[in-house]
Amino acid sequence: MAPPGQAMATLDRSLDFDINEISQLDGGNDLDTFDGPAPGDNFLNNQDMNNELLDTQTAVSYIITSLKQSLSMRHNQVGGLLANQNKYLIVMCVKGMKNNDFSKILNWYKLILNNIGHLIYLLQNEIDQVSPSMSVLKCGLFSKDADVANLCCRVFTKMVSIFNENS
């Protein structure tokens, strides 16, 4: 596994964002390794989490914000998960976090499922981001945890259902 700094340097360009964009979203913080939530981060208020997610203007920022909230990470740390074609996010979805804990991954898919309408709205306005966004969302399909794989399937099923209603 590459060191976090090296992973960030080789950030996958398929999502059309770069390190500078991630850094700007996080208030310009320097890159560092994940050591828990940022000081002062409070993820206990679900209403604030949903408001921040619904305030996103692009599919990329939606995905980064949803991962940040669910995994209690900073934007630049989420960028590391998405490096090398989502390699580290896939590993996290397959193996879970520390001690095979899938609760934060489950929370991510629940957050997406509860706010799927906004993601679809963003994707309808950014057709070029549909494929890269689906590549991120599909990571849960590879999970050895049945609940993660099930929620991932529910996200895709809900998206198809809404797309069919709108067409």
pLDDT tens column, 65-94: 999 999 999 888 999 999 999 999 999 999
Q: What is the pTM (predicted TM-score) of this model? A: 0.72
Which pLDDT score is estimated for 76?
A: 87
Higher pLDDT, 72 or 43: 72
- State which amino acid sits at residue 159: M
On the CB side of 111, CA atoms within 13 Å amount to 28
Mean pLDDT over the full length of the chain: 78
Which pLDDT score is estimated for 49?
A: 59
The H or E element that residue 80 is part of is helix 75-81
Higher pLDDT, 46 or 115: 115
The ranges assigned to domains in the chain are: 4-29+42-166
Average pLDDT over residues 50-55: 86
Which of 91, 59, 65, 92 shows the shortest CA–CA distance to 78? Answer: 65
At residue 58, the 3 state secondary structure works out as: coil
Higher pLDDT, 85 or 49: 85
Higher pLDDT, 132 or 38: 132
